[in-house]
Homo-oligomer: A and B are copies of this chain.
């Protein structure tokens, strides 16, 4: 098989490694993924992965970042007014998972890895915290915004786990709009409703 040494032309190996890493991390989580597996999926020697990305942790952090424009999403969700914001948020959330095949393994990988790896848990905290959901919630309901944001996050992550990671039926193959109609109002209450806490 392929001998040592550089290949003629541009091989795009670095991008192939990054893509494979996203896929494998998404399927198996940080611990389950192996550098050798990622390298094989990229058609590349394992040492090349280290050459480009250093350690496994650095590879994970380099590759598992969300292209997520919280500000743009905020205006988009709030443009039609406050009513129905919960359904619009759920609809957006589902569309990311369902329609963007590049983002899905990243989300899956972060959630899977956050279960056991503290670094991945930090990523998840940021995604729900200052960088992500909190911004949106703070613009809608300034009082108790952190609490509301985490409630919304817990329902969304639970939804993702059930529908996409564990694959619980009949939710996994339910129509997206049915999920929006079912979960949207609960999210909306977390966002702008009365939580019943003093």
Contacts and interface: CB of A to CB of B under 8 A. Distances in A.
Nearest to A182: B195
Given A112-B116, A155-B186, A195 B181 contact: yes
Nearest to A27: B116
Nearest to A198: B178
Contacts of A178: 197-198
B174 A147 contact: yes
A189 B86 CA distance: 15
Interface in A131-156: 146-147, 150-151, 153-156
Given A112-B116, A182-B197, A185-B196, A154 B159 contact: yes
Contacts of A154: 155, 158-159, 161-163, 168, 171
Interface stretch (A5-13, A39-47, A58-66, A120-128): A120-128
A182 to B, nearest CB: 5
Given A112-B116, A158-B157, A151 B121 contact: no
Nearest to A167: B121
A72 interface: no
A71 interface: no
B28 A168 contact: no
Interface of A: 28-29, 31-32, 111-112, 114-116, 121, 124-125, 128, 146-147, 150-151, 153-159, 161-163, 165-171, 174, 178, 181-186, 189-190, 195-198
